[in-house]
Amino acid sequence: MTAHLPFKQAAFALLLASLLAGGCQSTGSETQTKQPDAAPATAAQPAPILGPLVTDIYTADPSAHVFNGKIYVYPSHDIDAGIPEKDDGSHFAMTDYHILSMDSVGGKVTDHGVALDLKDVPWAGRQMWAPDAAYKDGAYYLYFPAKDKQDVFRIGVATSTSPSGPFKAEPAPITGSNSIDPTVFKDDNGDYYMYFGGIWGGQLQRWSSGKYIQADTYPADDQPALSPKVARLADDMKSFDGAVQDVQILGKDGKPLLAKDNDKRFFEAAWLHKYNGKYYFSYSTGDTHNIAYAIGDSPVGPFTYQGVILKPVLGWTNHHSIIEKDGKWYLFFHDSSLSGGKTHLRSVKVTELKYNPDGTIRPIDAMVKS
């Protein structure tokens, strides 16, 4: 069933369509969901928001990639574990990953079933948070944060011969990794970089000394904000080649953003993409709920703050990825509309992302009523 819908009704229409017209179909461990058609954007209009991509499970933190001409989305799989909401994020108690795929944005979405389960990760204790994936030389790599048995977030890696898994986890997390939200970027010369880090529940504030300290330590308001991290991946894609470095995010004045710059500074959810030869580092500002971005001339920075890509969405967290497919750019993100606003029960959506002629990005407001 197809319908031309105002953007904000599309999610609810999809749910209805799925229920009434059999929009969700299961084939073995895979489930397919039809996407509603949305009216094409005009130059003056914002692009339509499509999704939730799937409605029979909650999905969040979407890391999208194009592999073999198809779009694969590596999300968190949100569940309600009955844990009360706390600042340390314990209620985000996810235990596995499902991978979604589609031929094109707006096409049928396939849920490939469980790709990796917590019980099959020897070192992990709880909370499988935002993952990402990469491809090299015939192998697919799933990078994921989880708390180890000592309740410290680490970043693990698992491998598969298929982009949709199943993935087999390495016996130990990546040496030198910590905190959450890994994302891997492949540069044009074949180098791979991992960016990671997240404040509060993601524990980045416990690594300021270079070692894990249980107490939270934050810079004073007038000091540089906590930095996300970057490391080049070694040839084996399972270890870091060299030291973990700070990612510097500068203001337009060339000085590092400060801890008090809450509406601009890094909190979590890093992503890196390249556009017209420039490196775009984007991230969530956390407690101010923006997806912001900064541009640089090198994959390791420094990056200069530019503005907001995605304004706050329904729910507390904001998390995204950016890909190019068939000459168009897309922003994948999540919100809590399907769960009626529950912060830990989110759903992945997608919309087109547009650049201005000067390379800046047109901000997106997914809350705007059409």
Question: Which residues are known to be catalytic?
Answer: 61, 268
Closer Cβ to ligand FUB, 34 or 283, answer by number: 283
Nearest one of 4, 84, 70, 9 to 38, comparing CA atoms? 4
Closer Cβ to ligand FUB, 74 or 92, answer by number: 92
Q: Does 60 bind ligand FUB (CB under 6 A)?
A: yes
Query: Backbone phi, then psi, for 321, in 5-degree steps?
Result: -150, 160
Binds ligand FUB by CB under 6 A, chosen from 34, 147, 154, 319: 319
Binds ligand FUB by CB under 6 A, chosen from 7, 74, 129, 240: 129
Structure tokens belonging to residue 149: 């048995």
Closer Cβ to ligand FUB, 16 or 81, answer by number: 81
Closer Cβ to ligand FUB, 136 or 289, answer by number: 289
Q: Does 63 bind ligand FUB (CB under 6 A)?
A: no
Q: Which of residues 190-209 bind ligand FUB (CB under 6 A)?
A: 198
Q: Does 132 bind ligand FUB (CB under 6 A)?
A: no
Cis peptide before 166 (omega within 30 of 0): yes
Q: Does 135 bind ligand FUB (CB under 6 A)?
A: no
Q: Does 317 bind ligand FUB (CB under 6 A)?
A: yes
The least CB distance from residue 127 to ligand FUB, in Å, is 8
Q: Does 130 bind ligand FUB (CB under 6 A)?
A: yes
Q: Does 61 bind ligand FUB (CB under 6 A)?
A: yes
Cα atoms found within 13 Å of the Cα of residue 301, Cβ hemisphere only: 26
CA separation, residue 311 to residues 57, 175, 288, 290 (Å) = 25, 35, 9, 5
Could you tell me which residues come within 8 angstroms of residue 247 by beta carbon, excluding any fewer than 6 positions away? Answer: 195, 227, 228, 229, 230, 266, 270, 281, 300, 301, 303
Binds ligand FUB by CB under 6 A, chosen from 76, 183, 203, 282: 76
Cis peptide before 302 (omega within 30 of 0): yes
The least CB distance from residue 37 to ligand FUB, in Å, is 29
CA–CA gap between residue 66 and residue 89 (Å, rounded): 30
Structure tokens belonging to residue 12: 């609810």
CA separation, residue 158 to residues 59, 118, 140, 238, 285 (Å) = 20, 12, 8, 9, 28
Binds ligand FUB by CB under 6 A, chosen from 261, 268, 335, 352: 268
Closer Cβ to ligand FUB, 34 or 98, answer by number: 98
Residue 279 in contact with residue 333, Cβ under 8 Å? no
* Strand boundaries in 118-211, DSSP class E: 124-126, 132-136, 139-148, 153-160, 168-169, 183-186, 192-196
Residue 240 in contact with residue 231, Cβ under 8 Å? yes
Binds ligand FUB by CB under 6 A, chosen from 24, 105, 157, 269: 269
CA–CA gap between residue 333 and residue 352 (Å, rounded): 11
Q: Does 261 bind ligand FUB (CB under 6 A)?
A: no
Q: Which of residues 297-316 bind ligand FUB (CB under 6 A)?
A: none
Binds ligand FUB by CB under 6 A, chosen from 47, 146, 155, 181: 181
The least CB distance from residue 360 to ligand FUB, in Å, is 24
Residues that bind ligand FUB (CB under 6 A): 60-61, 76, 92, 129-130, 180-181, 198, 268-269, 317, 319
